[in-house]
Amino acid sequence: MPTPARVVVLPADDGPLQVVEIDLPDPGPDQIIVKQFASGVCHSQLHQMHTPRRSPVVLGHESTGIVTQKGSQVSHVSEGDTVMVTWVPRDATAASRNPDAAVLKLPDGSTAISQNVFTWADTTIADEQYVVKVNPNIQKEVTAIIGCAVMTGAGAVENTAGVKQGDSVAIFGVGGVGLSAVVAAKKLGAHPIIAVDLDEEKLAFAKEFGATHTVNAGETDPVAAIKALTPQPGRQTMYEGEVSGADFVFDCIGLKQTMEQIVPAARTGFFGAQPGGTAVLVGVPTTQVELKAIDMLVNEKKFIGSIGGSCSPDRDFSKYLQWYAEGSLNLDSMVTARYSIDDINEATRALAAGKIAGRAILVF
């Protein structure tokens, strides 16, 4: 039996987001219908909104909800289970098939596509690989951002980079993803944890989550500031300069300027005896980037990418929920704005204007 849903649709033209009432079909063998509690509002959706398209698009990729229907081949959840919807397969190594992206037929006869899933809707339909069963007693709203913001930032620190106790860390951009990276760095015992941003309020906010130092990149050279905070006296580079820089530098923004700053901000090598630091690209880039190859060669630095925090949701989501339960991941403070589905255009405008200090969510 079809399921009524209210879904945010991005038109094929340049018009505003629209809330459309549709009937979701019965789930296919590998699909699940989820009535949602809340969904995150992510910067990557802004990138999608500004990308040319030939057909309508449905957006959103992190949410909490409850299973109302499931396909005949779905075995890991039952109707009534509390779940999270995410855009990363819950256990890609164990999957026997590639997940299918959601596609919707709209009332006007057109077809709306998704990148993987869509969660800007009071009810969604998704491939079972994007649906993770969780404890039914979780807080149902703020935990929605675990499905992207938290796993992307925290996972980049823990899974992609493998930060260890005592490592120095610098994080460019402390929105929801960057704050999650700060939390993971603190959890793993990194020191110092240097937050870099252009907004003093966001920098002060980052200290509440574990940043030990802050750098306002609008007032000072962030590379020089990071190097000044991370000297290694007595150790020299190949060019007889002092070794300095963070062991790991994360770009949670993806701008050309920040991508080109994270490599020089990474620790220089110790005269061939110790390799240099690692720059980790976490934010979605929209431009090309130029790196100084001689710096990477002589100082043995690395520039790597992190998609979705290298996370396996079946493994990692319960851990992040535990961090929240024990108080080390303060999602109640990280979620700084709530909107209804009818206010989605207001939410995306506020996000684009930099008015969201942490993370915004839609509450259904």
Superfamily of segment(s) 150-308: NAD(P)-binding Rossmann-like Domain (3.40.50.720)
Count CB-CB contacts under 10 A for residue 296.
18
CA atoms of 82 and 181, how far apart (whole Å): 26
For residue 171, what is the enclosing H or E element? Answer: strand 169-172
CA atoms within 13 A of residue 198's CA, in its CB half-sphere: 6
CA atoms of 175 and 190, how far apart (whole Å): 19
Residues of the chain with CATH 3.40.50.720: 150-308
CA atoms of 153 and 149, how far apart (whole Å): 6
* Contact between residue 243 and residue 270 where contact means Cβ atoms under 8 Å apart: yes
* Contact between residue 159 and residue 131 where contact means Cβ atoms under 8 Å apart: no
Q: CA dist 26 to 2, 125, 175, 203, 286, Å?
A: 6, 9, 38, 47, 37
Q: CA dist 333 to 69, 98, 149, 336, Å?
A: 33, 36, 14, 6
- 3-state SS class at 128: helix
Q: DSSP letter for 72, please.
A: T
Q: DSSP letter for 142, please.
A: G
CA atoms of 321 and 146, how far apart (whole Å): 8
CA atoms within 13 A of residue 39's CA, in its CB half-sphere: 29
Q: CA dist 236 to 61, 74, 122, 342, 347, Å?
A: 46, 58, 58, 58, 49
pTM beyond 0.85: the answer is yes
Residues of the chain with CATH 3.90.180.10: 3-140+330-363
In this prediction, residue 240 carries a pLDDT of 66
Q: How many angstroms separate the first and last alpha carbons of the chain?
A: 22
Helix axes 256-265, 222-229, angle to 10 degrees: 30
In this prediction, residue 188 carries a pLDDT of 98
Residue found by looking up tokens 């905070």 in the block:
229
In this prediction, residue 348 carries a pLDDT of 96
Q: Is 291 exposed, middle or buried (0-12, 13-18, 19+ CB in 10 A)?
A: middle
Q: Does domain 3-140+330-363 have CATH number 3.90.180.10?
A: yes
Residuewise pLDDT in 10s, the chain (364 residues): 789 999 999 999 878 999 999 999 999 999 999 999 999 999 889 888 888 888 999 999 999 999 999 999 999 999 999 999 999 999 999 888 999 999 999 999 999 999 999 999 999 999 999 999 999 999 999 999 999 999 999 999 999 999 999 999 999 999 999 999 999 999 999 999 999 999 999 999 999 999 999 999 999 999 999 999 999 888 877 776 788 999 999 999 999 999 999 999 999 988 777 899 999 999 999 899 999 999 999 999 999 999 999 999 999 999 999 999 999 999 999 999 999 999 999 999 999 998 998 999 999 9
